[in-house]
């Protein structure tokens, strides 16, 4: 059963992508919706199985279905489905962009589905170098999606993303080769880099060499996660990509690549000790410090959401770096809460940008006056992302900071708390100025689009309210205890 | 063990890419470096009972196919004049050499079977990043990440027993995808901006 679900979750989006060139017009949209629903059902079921059977992770030839993988699968499945469903609203009439006019729509869906398939595979793979190959494979599909519109700014963002992340991942690969050389005992065996094999061999390798390998791997993956100071592509790519792609990049890609970093840290723990956690804390604090000043600036909404991604990847790094049960419970809630809130913010920009292109380059003002539905969605997104109670991100940040205190990292917690408070004020300012306003004048979104956005806002709002309750159940739970033993 | 003159040649070719002026010459230098690495890979596969088909694939794809893709990109993106935004060749050379020497000086030994090859691999990765950072034409930036990938390939060849063939092939697939997409970007950027000089890509700032 689990084996079938694993293969269905990855094969269904790929099979749908293969069928895309054969469909046209309304059939194409129906095919993508059907493929996306089936994929989300398979991946969602697999995620539930992973969380239900977390004490004994199922293993196959190339995969492991563990608790951490289950959390990420559920997130990637949900965001992938929402992005597929939101895409027709973005695409509109075909036009010459990165692809020729007659090919633009099929090419978009092929790239989106391939990107989603690889993202679903990453949390499942049981091997560091295979995870690297998959992460690198996301670059090609996502780079063309970032540049999909074919505009000057989109080309610039896509090119920066391609070059910076490819170079970063090359550094990570060098680290993986160094680690392989430390662990391999003469033979050429792929299983040497299985998560369990790394953990088993880590106790016997030179600690300094293992730290050097980990530094290379983390520094390289940081470029893809968007951790400062190697985050330069992130605001550009998130702001120029089509909104459904921005949602996938921010809510699914970044945390999924961070899972690879987390698994590497857990596997190398016997060799690197607290140094590994300290590296995560350093990336976390620097990312927060770099992001917060931008949260205070008047930025276009998608760019503001991008800098918020930088902030939240920093928060996740802190939680993983603290590594205590409270912090890891916070990480689980934060991954889910950030994904829902951030994707809602990006989806809300679809009707806004369709009617008012100036919002692509200017900060929004009083959205409620022109688009109450979009204002509601953006408001819920920004309120949640800022950590305003009862947002699950408020709960998760409190858990992570409490976990930091439990880890004895008082100075890091103090600095992080101050930065998070400043970030909250910055986003609250954007929320008040950008969303609140006079009574509606002339709606800019169509009634149909407004109704859809309201329904999505209500659904995500309910899910966001449910997450704090889940957080209460996670504290001292067996699931977190399994995460503590190592995410593989 | 890889002979030291071969390692020097690989590093020298990477340094050449920092200064060489014409894009076509750059592709030729890259092809020479990749072919040399491909020959080493085939030699290792034969003498150490590795996967010969994987080594031949490395030789053909890295040494022939990928350079041909870049040649096609150059054909599609003819430049009316030299890219004027580049720093002087001497300055680029000094910067790249300095960064490579500092990296080798600061980094601990990589722990590979062949330490000299480890140093050369690190130098190639750093010089690849330097080529991508210091050169402006799209083709040279793509060459930069191929040089860095060549560094990783060299490190893999210096590991006792080499990397598993399935990994080598997976890396090749990723490389082909990345270069294919980079080529498509090169063509689109040239079409949109009238040049493939990436210094025109500087509008997105906060």
Is there a single domain that holds both residue A57 and residue A183? no
Q: Which of B161, B178, B188 sits opposite A140 (nearest CB)?
A: B178
Is there a single domain that holds both residue A172 and residue A313? no
Residues contacting A137, CB < 8 A, separation 6+:
A118, B173, B174, B177
Does B155 contact A178 at a Cβ distance shorter than 8 Å? Answer: yes
Is there a single domain that holds both residue A116 and residue A131? no
Does B177 contact A180 at a Cβ distance shorter than 8 Å? Answer: no
Which residues of chain B have a CB within 8 Å of the CB of A160?
201, 204
Give pLDDT, residue B148.
Answer: 97
Report the residue of chain B nearest A146, measured CA to CA. B185
Does B204 contact A297 at a Cβ distance shorter than 8 Å? Answer: no
Does B132 contact A173 at a Cβ distance shorter than 8 Å? Answer: no
Distance from CA of B85 to the nearest CA of A (A): 17
What is the rounded distance in angstroms from the CA atom of residue A374 to the CA atom of residue A301?
12
Is there a single domain that holds both residue A336 and residue A484? yes
Cβ–Cβ < 8 Å for A329, A480: yes
DSSP β-bridge partners for residue A212: none
Cβ–Cβ < 8 Å for B152, A170: yes
Does B192 contact A190 at a Cβ distance shorter than 8 Å? Answer: no
Helix B165-193 crosses helix A128-146 at what angle (to 10 degrees)? 10
Is there a single domain that holds both residue A32 and residue A115? yes
Does A167 contact B178 at a Cβ distance shorter than 8 Å? Answer: no
Does B141 contact A181 at a Cβ distance shorter than 8 Å? Answer: no
Which residues of chain B have a CB within 8 Å of the CB of A167?
128-129, 132, 144-145, 148
Domain boundary residue, one of A124, A142, A169: A124
Is there a single domain that holds both residue A256 and residue A111? no
Report the residue of chain A nearest B113, measured CA to CA. A181
Q: List pLDDT tens digits, range A183-220.
A: 987 666 888 999 999 999 998 998 899 999 999 999 99
Give pLDDT, residue A201.
Answer: 93
Cβ–Cβ < 8 Å for A341, A251: no
What is the rounded distance in angstroms from the CA atom of residue B16 to the CA atom of residue B6?
15
Give pLDDT, residue B139.
Answer: 96
Does A156 contact B167 at a Cβ distance shorter than 8 Å? Answer: no
Which residues of chain A have a CB within 8 Å of the CB of B108?
208-209, 212
Report the residue of chain B nearest A137, measured CA to CA. B174
Domain boundary residue, one of A270, A299, A334: A270
Give pLDDT, residue A363.
Answer: 86
Chain A with chain B: Cβ pairs closer than 8 A: 146
Is there a single domain that holds both residue A339 and residue A486? yes
Distance from CA of A112 to the nearest CA of B (A): 15
pLDDT, block means (10 residues), chain A with 488 residues: 93 97 89 97 96 86 92 97 94 80 92 98 96 95 95 95 96 95 80 93 91 97 95 95 97 97 95 95 98 94 96 98 95 97 96 84 84 91 95 97 97 98 94 75 68 93 94 86 70
Q: Is A25 left (phi over 0), alpha (psi -120 to 50) or beta?
A: left
Does B111 contact A182 at a Cβ distance shorter than 8 Å? Answer: yes
Is there a single domain that holds both residue A132 and residue A167? yes
Report the residue of chain B nearest A97, measured CA to CA. B188
Does B121 contact A186 at a Cβ distance shorter than 8 Å? Answer: no
Which residues of chain B have a CB within 8 Å of the CB of A188?
50, 161-165
DSSP β-bridge partners for residue A125: A63
What does the block give as tokens for A141? 């599909």
Residues contacting A25, CB < 8 A, separation 6+:
none
Distance from CA of B132 to the nearest CA of A (A): 8
Give pLDDT, residue B160.
Answer: 81
Cβ–Cβ < 8 Å for B179, A153: no
> A59 by DSSP, 3-state: which?
strand
Report the residue of chain B nearest A151, measured CA to CA. B192
Does A177 contact B113 at a Cβ distance shorter than 8 Å? Answer: no
DSSP β-bridge partners for residue A58: A65
- Within 10 A of A405 (CB to CB), how many other CB atoms are there? 16
What is the rounded distance in angstroms from the CA atom of residue A445 to the CA atom of residue A458?
18
Distance from CA of B144 to the nearest CA of A (A): 8
Is there a single domain that holds both residue A3 and residue A142? no
Cβ–Cβ < 8 Å for A223, A162: no
Which residues of chain A have a CB within 8 Å of the CB of B62?
none
Q: Which of B109, B171, B198 sits opposite A133 (nearest CB)?
A: B171
Does A156 contact B203 at a Cβ distance shorter than 8 Å? Answer: yes
Distance from CA of B90 to the nearest CA of A (A): 24
Distance from CA of A451 to the nearest CA of B (A): 34
Distance from CA of B88 to the nearest CA of A (A): 22
Report the residue of chain B nearest A237, measured CA to CA. B204
Distance from CA of A150 to the nearest CA of B (A): 8
Q: How many domains does chain A have?
A: 3
Q: Which of A174, A236, A237, A426 is best to mutate for the B interface (most B CBs within 10 A)?
A: A174
Cβ–Cβ < 8 Å for A235, A306: yes
Does A294 contact B161 at a Cβ distance shorter than 8 Å? Answer: no
Does B155 contact A206 at a Cβ distance shorter than 8 Å? Answer: no
Q: Which of B41, B152, B195 is best to mutate for the A interface (most A CBs within 10 A)?
A: B152
Domain boundary residue, one of A108, A124, A140: A124
Torsion angle defined by CA atoms of residues B179, B182, B184 and B186, in that order, rounded to the nearest 10 degrees? -130
Does A159 contact B185 at a Cβ distance shorter than 8 Å? Answer: yes
Q: Domain range holding A488? A: 273-488
**H/E run at residue A65:** strand A64-65
Q: Which of B128, B192, B198 sits opposite A152 (nearest CB)?
A: B192
Cβ–Cβ < 8 Å for A401, A331: no
- With 0-12 / 13-18 / 19 or more C-beta atoms within 10 angstroms meaning exposed / middle / buried, residue A408 is exposed
What does the block give as tokens for A169? 């991942």
Is there a single domain that holds both residue A343 and residue A467? yes
Does B178 contact A162 at a Cβ distance shorter than 8 Å? Answer: yes
Alpha-carbon distances of A289 from A175, A389, B62, rounded to whole Å:
27, 22, 41
Q: Which of A155, A186, A299 sits opposite B189 (nearest CB)?
A: A155
Give pLDDT, residue B82.
Answer: 65
Q: List pLDDT tens digits, range B31-85.
A: 999 999 999 999 999 988 788 999 999 999 999 999 999 999 999 998 876 665 5
Q: Which of A140, A141, A194, A233 is best to mutate for the B interface (most B CBs within 10 A)?
A: A140
Tokens 């008012």 correspond to A356
Is there a single domain that holds both residue A158 and residue A96? no
Does B192 contact A150 at a Cβ distance shorter than 8 Å? Answer: yes
Asked if the bond preceding A229 is cis, omega within 30° of 0, the reply is: yes
Q: Which of B113, B162, B173 sits opposite A188 (nearest CB)?
A: B162
Q: Which of B113, B167, B202 sits opposite A129 (nearest CB)?
A: B167
Tokens 């690198």 correspond to A136
Is there a single domain that holds both residue A318 and residue A358? yes
């Amino acid at each position: 059963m689990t084996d079938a679900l694993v293969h269905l979750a990855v094969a269904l989006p790929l099979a749908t992508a293969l069928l895309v060139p054969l469909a046209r017009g309304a059939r194409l949209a129906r095919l993508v919706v059907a493929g996306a629903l089936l994929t989300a059902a398979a991946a969602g079921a697999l995620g539930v199985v992973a969380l239900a059977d977390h004490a004994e992770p199922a293993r196959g030839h190339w995969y492991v279905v563990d608790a951490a993988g289950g959390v990420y699968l559920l997130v990637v499945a949900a965001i992938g489905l929402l992005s597929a469903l939101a895409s027709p609203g973005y695409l509109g009439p075909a036009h010459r962009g990165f692809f020729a006019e007659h090919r633009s729509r099929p090419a978009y869906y092929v790239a989106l589905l391939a990107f989603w398939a690889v993202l679903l595979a990453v949390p499942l793979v049981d091997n560091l170098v295979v995870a690297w190959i998959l992460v690198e494979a996301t670059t090609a599909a996502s780079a063309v999606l970032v540049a999909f519109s074919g505009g000057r700014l989109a080309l610039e963002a896509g090119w920066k993303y391609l070059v910076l992340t490819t170079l970063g991942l090359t550094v990570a690969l060098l680290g993986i080769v160094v680690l392989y050389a430390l662990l391999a005992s003469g033979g050429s065996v792929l299983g040497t880099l299985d998560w369990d094999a790394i953990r088993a061999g880590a106790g016997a390798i030179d600690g300094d060499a293992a730290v050097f390998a980990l530094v290379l791997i983390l520094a390289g993956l940081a470029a893809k996660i968007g951790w400062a100071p190697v985050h330069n592509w992130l605001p550009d790519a998130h702001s120029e990509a089509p909104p459904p792609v921005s949602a996938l990049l921010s809510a699914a890609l970044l945390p999924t690549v961070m899972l690879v970093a987390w698994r590497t840290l857990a596997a190398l723990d016997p060799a690197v000790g607290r140094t590994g956690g300290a590296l995560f804390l350093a990336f976390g604090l620097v990312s927060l410090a770099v992001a917060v000043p931008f949260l205070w600036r008047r930025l276009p909404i998608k760019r503001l959401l991008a800098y918020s991604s930088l902030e939240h990847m920093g928060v996740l790094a802190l939680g993983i770096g603290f590594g205590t049960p409270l912090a890891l419970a916070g990480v689980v809630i934060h991954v889910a809460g950030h994904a829902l809130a951030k994707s809602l913010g990006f989806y809300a920009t679809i009707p806004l940008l369709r009617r008012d292109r100036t919002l692509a380059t200017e900060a929004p003002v009083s959205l409620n006056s022109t688009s109450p539905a979009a204002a509601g969605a953006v408001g819920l997104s920004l309120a949640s992302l800022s950590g305003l109670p009862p947002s699950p991100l408020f709960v998760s940040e409190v858990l992570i900071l409490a976990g930091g205190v439990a880890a004895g990292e008082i100075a890091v917690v103090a600095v992080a708390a101050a930065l998070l408070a400043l970030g909250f004020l910055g986003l609250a300012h954007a929320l008040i100025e950008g969303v609140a306003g006079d009574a509606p004048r002339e709606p800019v979104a169509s009634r149909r689009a407004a109704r859809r956005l309201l329904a999505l806002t209500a659904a995500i709002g309910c899910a966001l309210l449910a997450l704090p309750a889940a957080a209460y159940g996670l504290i001292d739970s067996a699931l977190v205890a399994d995460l503590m033993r190592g995410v593989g | 063990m890889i002979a030291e003159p071969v390692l020097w040649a690989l590093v020298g070719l990477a340094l050449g890419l920092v200064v060489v002026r014409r894009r076509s010459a750059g592709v030729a230098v890259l092809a020479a470096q990749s072919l040399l690495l491909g020959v080493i890979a085939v030699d290792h596969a034969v003498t150490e009972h590795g996967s010969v088909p994987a080594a031949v694939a490395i030789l053909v794809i890295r040494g022939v196919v990928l350079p041909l893709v870049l040649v096609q990109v150059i054909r599609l993106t003819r430049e009316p004049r030299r890219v004027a935004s580049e720093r002087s060749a001497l300055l680029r050379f000094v910067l790249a050499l300095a960064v490579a020497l500092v990296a080798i000086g600061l980094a601990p030994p990589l722990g590979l079977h062949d330490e000299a090859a480890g140093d050369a691999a690190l130098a190639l990765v750093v010089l690849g990043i330097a080529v991508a950072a210091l050169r402006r034409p799209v083709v040279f930036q793509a060459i930069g990440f191929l040089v860095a990938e060549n560094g990783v390939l060299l490190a893999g060849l210096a590991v006792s027993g080499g990397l598993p063939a399935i990994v080598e092939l997976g890396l090749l697939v990723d490389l082909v995808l990345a270069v294919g997409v980079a080529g498509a970007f090169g063509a689109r950027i040239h079409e949109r901006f009238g040049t493939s000089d990436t210094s025109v890509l500087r509008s997105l700032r906060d």
